[in-house]
């Protein structure tokens, strides 16, 4: 696969999603090399000087007042990495780890970290040859950078730690050797430049965002199916209602649902004579809820695109004014807020979907659908417990959506006395989007069963194509059967965008990263 050239400071979310999903090899735009070299030369000069420069010839954190001899510079950086390899827990998955490495490349490529070009080239080579560091997923508070996770990444570069190569978990030095690569000896500030930064938190948050976009797309399809299944009114989708409020996401969601449902015989069959004045909120307020979630995800996307392009280590080399300055760009508060925003959107998309499922399986509310969508109810339980499962997942996501960014605990002898908690705030998103995909998968199964109950009336042509695609893999539930595989298949279809892909472009809003970045 041809390497993707990325320009530090100018990378968009679409490129990063491509890196994540396709495991693309990456090259930093060679136009960035002069700035990288200048910053490295400035750090080397400082290392030779007598003035104390944090992280170059001093200790770290509370030990910043301890001066380090020039002869000990390499030992200082190596010790920094080894001492900070304190992560615990399950390893981060391969694709997110690779994204984290790319984000570190982009940060170093800004030419403000003082890290030599050779270090960037080794990271590029690891990505190209498939050397993936083993990164324990717990241990960062998102403050002085994601220190522990990034230390585990850096350990492999110096021939320590562990890495996955060709499917095998190996010692870092062995993985490099098998890939034909040599470990690097870190120069002044390079260890600090590699482990200071928000790249672990940002990578996890980006993965949460990418998956949440896909599920936001899918919810427009499942919501439209559910509306037809319960013979819900489409009057609440009228453009004039949403234009009077003015929120972009709400306007777009209503438009898409109108488009998707155009041509439904089911809708036309009860346009006259339906005695229901108003549907429950889970049907009537879909544009307001899903639209607000879309807008929230867009805000998070803007923050994360900026962060992906940022120089976030400390100190930073300001070449233009010939200064090395200590600051706090490593503090991951923006990422923590973005992760919390994504979590709220994911939880709410699941909450309203679960209520639509509950509506469809309840015979007192579902407008003539059989109890629990079962054939021969009583003998068969149909989707009774599938709905209970979605209630469990919805409740779990509500719990997980509690903010992480409002938490803080002092660390490092009170030197780092306010922290963002971005790391676990971002990490939880993987679990939340997995839960949401299962909720939407059950909604898909229920809504299609409800629509098929309306035969010979048919839903819209667009939604008929969705039904046909699901039925290629999941047959109709004629009698009770072992349902777990059906639920997993439906969730997989939701996650993969297969259902969205059967719709024409004009039926879909561009909820993806490129649209968010715009």
Residues with active-site annotation: 54
Task: Report the candidate in 129, 132, 109 with the shortest Cα–Cα distance to residue 119.
Answer: 109
The edge-to-edge listing of strands for the beta sheet with 162-165 is 132-133, 162-165, 168-171
DSSP conformation class of 138: E
Q: Is 473 helix (H, G, I), strand (E, B) or coil?
A: coil
Q: Are 232 and 283 in contact (CB under 8 A)?
A: yes
Q: Which residues contact 337 (CB under 8 A, 6 or more apart)?
A: 303, 405
Measured distance CA(100)–CA(150) in Å, rounded: 9
Secondary structure letter of residue 198 according to DSSP: S
DSSP assignment of 284-309: HTHHHHHHHHHHHHHHHHHHHHHHHT
CA distance 289 to 282: 9
For residues 478 and 428, the answer to whether their CB atoms sit within 8 Å is no
∠ at Cα 448 (443, 450), nearest 5°?
Answer: 95
Strand 4-6 vs strand 26-28: parallel, antiparallel, or unpaired? parallel
**Pick from 282, 286, 201, 188: which is nearest to 237 by CA?**
286
């Amino acid at each position: 696969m041809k390497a993707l050239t990325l320009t530090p400071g100018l990378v968009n979310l679409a490129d990063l999603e491509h890196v994540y999903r396709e495991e693309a090899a990456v090259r930093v735009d060679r136009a960035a090399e002069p700035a990288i070299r200048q910053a490295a030369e400035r750090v080397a000069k400082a290392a030779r000087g007598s003035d104390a420069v944090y992280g170059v010839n001093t200790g770290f954190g509370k030990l910043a007042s301890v001066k380090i001899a020039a002869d000990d510079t390499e030992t200082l950086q190596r010790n920094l990495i080894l001492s900070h390899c304190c992560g615990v827990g399950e390893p981060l998955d391969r694709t997110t780890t690779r994204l984290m490495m790319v984000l570190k490349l982009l940060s170093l490529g800004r030419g403000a970290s003082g890290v030599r070009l050779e270090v960037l080239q080794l990271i590029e080579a690891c990505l190209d040859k498939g050397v993936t560091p083993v990164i324990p997923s717990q241990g960062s508070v998102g403050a002085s950078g994601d220190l522990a996770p990034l230390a585990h990444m850096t350990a492999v570069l110096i021939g320590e730690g562990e890495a996955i190569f060709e499917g095998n978990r190996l010692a870092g030095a062995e993985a490099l050797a098998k890939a034909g690569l040599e470990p690097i000896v870190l120069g002044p500030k390079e260890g600090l430049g590699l482990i200071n930064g928000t790249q672990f938190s940002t990578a996890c948050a980006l993965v949460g965002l990418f998956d949440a976009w896909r599920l936001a797309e899918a919810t427009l399809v499942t919501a439209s199916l559910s509306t037809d299944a319960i013979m819900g009114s489409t009057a609440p989708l009228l453009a004039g209602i949403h234009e009077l409020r003015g929120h972009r996401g709400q306007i777009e969601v209503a438009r898409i649902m109108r488009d998707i449902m155009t041509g439904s015989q089911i809708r036309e069959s009860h346009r006259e004579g339906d005695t229901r004045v108003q549907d429950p909120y889970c049907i009537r307020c879909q544009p307001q809820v899903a639209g607000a979630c879309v807008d929230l995800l867009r805000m998070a996307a803007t923050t994360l695109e900026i962060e992906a392009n940022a120089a976030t280590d400390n100190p930073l080399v300001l070449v233009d004014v010939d200064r090395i300055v200590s600051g706090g760009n490593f503090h991951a508060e923006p990422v923590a807020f973005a992760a919390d925003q994504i979590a709220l959107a994911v939880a709410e998309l699941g909450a309203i979907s679960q209520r639509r499922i509950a509506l469809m399986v309840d015979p007192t509310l579902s407008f003539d659908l059989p109890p629990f969508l079962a054939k021969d109810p009583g003998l068969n339980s149909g989707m009774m417990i599938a709905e209970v499962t979605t209630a469990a997942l919805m409740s779990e996501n509500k719990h997980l959506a509690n903010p992480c960014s409002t938490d803080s605990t002092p660390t490092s002898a009170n030197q780092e006395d306010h922290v963002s908690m971005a790391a676990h705030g971002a990490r939880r998103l993987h679990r939340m989007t997995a839960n949401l995909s299962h909720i939407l998968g059950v909604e898909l199964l229920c809504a299609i069963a409800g629509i098929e109950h309306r035969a010979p009336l048919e839903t819209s042509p667009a939604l008929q194509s969705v039904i046909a695609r699901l039925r290629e893999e999941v047959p109709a539930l004629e009698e009770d059967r072992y349902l777990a595989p059906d639920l997993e298949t439906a969730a997989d279809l939701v996650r993969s965008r297969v259902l969205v892909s059967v719709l024409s472009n004009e039926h879909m809003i561009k909820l993806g990263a490129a649209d968010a970045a715009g």
